[in-house]
Amino acid sequence: MKYQSLVTSTLTRVGLAALLCVCLLLSLPLFAALPLSLGKSQLTLPLNGKPIEVFTYRPANFTNGPLLVVMHGLNRNADNYRDYAVPLADTFGMLVVAPLFDTNRFPSEAYQRGNVLKKGKPQPKSEWTYSYIPKLVAEIRRREGRADMPYYVIGHSAGGQFNTRLAAFLPGDAVRIVAANPGSHLFPTRDFPFPYGFGELPPELGGDDAIKRYLAAPLTLLLGTADTGDKNLDVKPEAMKQGATRFERGRNCFKLAEAVAKKNGWPFNWRVIEVEGVGHDGGKMFASPKAGVALLGDKCLTEPPGKATLMKRAPAK
């Protein structure tokens, strides 16, 4: 009996210890603060209460460089877009994350248009798809142990549309937001209804102050001069008023933005960069030296690879 009692007591203590360990584990964050893996990888992160698959790349030469958030196009091929960004990451020592916003949960109203409106009704900021970006950045900063890790955002096609509207409504503290070959633009005017302009939005989203903030955002339009085809092109009347092609729409948007800022004496932090001879091709756009210029400015062409001063910040203390 004594032996049985001893065994029972021991098992009870072991069971309690095991239960305590489980409770301690469950009390920790779901994802420990582990840096991203070297090379290509993928992980699932809980953002805004939803599991989001993220494709990542950590170059061998990464040392306290910035984060590059890559927004995929219409085909929702985040893994391909991560791959397109590898040359940028290797050249400038950047950490790459490419979140996947699938069609089922994020149709065009929620992806390209950010869920700012749902069936014509304004949504709370917490419901905007744009709000996933600062959450993603915060998680990567936590994993890397760098609370002030600078970040850039680049997207092509549908991802370019996402980025133009991200710049307008929730740019966060991104150093630079690059929109490559968007199919339609957010023109800084109330003459066009949202998502083509600021018309039909409530004053806090579509008033002069909102347009002023948009023009002050660090937005670069990266335009392929041969992006003149009509495959998957938005041909709604509002879009066609912006221009007949993606290239034309990009030029027209920048021209209007520059004029509106000048007329009102507002800060204007946009840039426009053209990639000669490239059409609607995300891989070729990202592979062009102009992509580095779009993100970092002309200095990136004169600094040694991975050493541009704009790309380096001291690690957080």
What angle do the packed helices 208-216 and 158-169 form, to 10 degrees?
120
Contact 250, 256 (CB under 8 A): no
Question: Which pTM was predicted?
Answer: 0.86
Whether residue 215 lies inside any domain: the answer is yes
Q: What is the DSSP letter of 257?
A: H
Domain count, the chain: 2
Q: Do residue 17 and residue 162 come from a single domain? A: no
Whether residue 317 lies inside any domain: the answer is no
Whether residue 316 lies inside any domain: the answer is no
pLDDT of the residue at 119 = 87
Q: Which residue has the tokens 């994350």?
A: 97
pLDDT of the residue at 302 = 56
Q: Do residue 306 and residue 195 come from a single domain? A: yes
- Domain of residue 5 covers 1-30
Q: Do residue 132 and residue 4 come from a single domain? A: no
pLDDT of the residue at 307 = 43
Give the CATH number for residue 248. 3.40.50.1820
CA–CA distance, 57 with 68 (Å, rounded to integer): 10
Q: Do residue 152 and residue 136 come from a single domain? A: yes
Q: Do residue 15 and residue 69 come from a single domain? A: no
What backbone phi and psi angles, to 5 degrees, belong to 8?
-60, -45
CA–CA distance, 15 with 11 (Å, rounded to integer): 6
CA–CA distance, 269 with 260 (Å, rounded to integer): 13
Residue 146 amino acid letter: R
Q: Do residue 152 and residue 293 come from a single domain? A: yes
Q: Do residue 131 and residue 221 come from a single domain? A: yes
pLDDT of the residue at 303 = 56
Q: Do residue 16 and residue 48 come from a single domain? A: no
Whether residue 179 lies inside any domain: the answer is yes
Helices (H), the chain: 2-27, 78-84, 86-92, 132-144, 158-169, 203-206, 208-216, 237-240, 246-264, 282-287, 289-296
Q: Do residue 95 and residue 21 come from a single domain? A: no
Whether residue 134 lies inside any domain: the answer is yes
Which of 124, 131, 68, 135 has its CA nearest to residue 95? 68
Extended beta strands in 135-263, E state: 151-156, 176-180, 219-224
Q: Which residue has the tokens 């980025």?
A: 163
CA–CA distance, 283 with 83 (Å, rounded to integer): 8
CA distances from 157 to 66, 74, 107 (A): 23, 7, 15
Strand (E) or helix (H) holding 295 = helix 289-296
Q: Do residue 13 and residue 75 come from a single domain? A: no
pLDDT in tens, the chain (317 residues): 444 454 345 434 544 444 444 343 334 444 456 899 999 999 999 999 999 999 999 999 899 999 999 999 999 999 999 999 999 999 999 999 999 999 999 999 999 999 999 988 999 999 999 999 999 999 999 999 999 999 999 999 999 999 999 999 999 999 999 999 999 999 999 999 999 999 999 999 999 999 999 999 999 999 999 999 999 999 999 999 999 999 999 999 999 999 999 999 999 999 999 999 999 999 999 999 999 999 998 766 655 444 444 444 333 32
